[in-house]
Amino acid sequence: MLCLLAPNVAGKEPVPAATETPRTIPANQPTRRMLQSMRYRILEGAVRVLSALRSHMARSLKEQAPEMATTRHHYTGVTLGDEYTDEVHGIKGRATAVYEFLHGCARVQIEYVDGDGNITDHVFDIGQLVHVDTGKKLRARTAPPSHADGAVAG
């Protein structure tokens, strides 16, 4: 048995220091290195699963993107993503937003390329826009179909 002696403090007799006997690990218990290796393999698997899921979601969004752009209908008759022409100013561009105001006015934001080649946008009154493909002129509505009487919900 190994016996270490503590230093003599203030004339006291040396006291044997506590010794640690080597611990034996039973054969059926994993070692620390084995546990670290198992954790590493689990994390590797999780990263692979997450990577595959992310690439699947990206492919799915790419496939759905054209459909999503053409199905954005507003009750005013505006389809976001379609091209419209402003009759007053002659500006032709793509509808990117519809704004509704409390008093019933609806306006459409049109994104277009100006004379300098810069992409810009402008908000137009809905009554002065014409759909480029169909030639249909939009008309102003004062309320959504569910509020046909013009009352403000709330």
Instruction: Please report the beta strands in 1-147, taking only residues with DSSP state E, as ranges in sequence order.
Output: 83-86, 92-100, 106-113, 119-125, 129-131
Q: Between 153 and 38, name the one with better pLDDT.
A: 38
Select from 132, 73, 139 the least CA-distant residue to 105.
Answer: 139
Q: Provide the percentage of residues in the chain whose pLDDT is more than 90.
A: 14
Label residue 85 by pLDDT band (50, 70, 90): very high
CA angle centred on 146, ends 143 and 148, rounded to 5°: 50
Where is 47: in which H helix or E strand? helix 32-70
Select from 64, 136, 138, 145 the least CA-distant residue to 72.
Answer: 64
The alpha carbons of the chain give a radius of gyration, in whole angstroms, of 37
The pLDDT of residue 1 is: 45
